[in-house]
């Protein structure tokens, strides 16, 4: 027979590790966005590079919002809710779009 204590899940340090992973990912996205903007504006700014910089900034802000939302939800309770598919898809699309914009700047 199971007791209530046995059914409770002890998450240990997993939520903290996940929060730290989101922070590291946000920092990496910030560095990538800054380097992409530096590359775009190096040697003179064309209209295409300025538009690409604006898109990268918008994608970075969106990713920052998603990461901050996830970090807050992980810190809110002892047992955090699972990441929704909508938020996961948005984070993946932001990351892929930033990579595509960076590739467009280099080429």
pLDDT in tens, 3-39: 555 566 666 778 788 889 999 999 999 998 898 888 8
**71 vs 28: CA distance, rounded Å:** 16
| pLDDT, the chain, mean | 85
- pTM for the full predicted model: 0.79
Q: How buried is residue 52: exposed, middle or buried, by Cβ count under 10 Å (0-12/13-18/19+)?
A: buried
Nearest to 94 by CA among 19, 25, 15: 25
pLDDT in tens, 41-90: 887 778 888 888 899 999 999 999 999 999 898 888 777 788 899 999 99
């Amino acid at each position: 027979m199971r007791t209530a204590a046995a059914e409770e899940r002890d998450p240990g340090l997993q939520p903290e590790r996940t929060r730290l992973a989101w922070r590291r990912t946000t920092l990496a996205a910030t560095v990538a966005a800054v380097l992409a903007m530096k590359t775009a504006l190096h040697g003179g700014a064309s209209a295409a590079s300025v538009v690409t910089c604006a898109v990268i900034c918008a994608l970075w802000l969106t990713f920052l919002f998603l990461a901050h939302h996830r970090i807050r939800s992980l810190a809110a309770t002892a047992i955090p809710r699972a990441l929704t598919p909508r938020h996961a898809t948005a984070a993946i699309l932001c990351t892929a779009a930033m990579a595509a914009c960076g590739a467009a700047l280099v080429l």
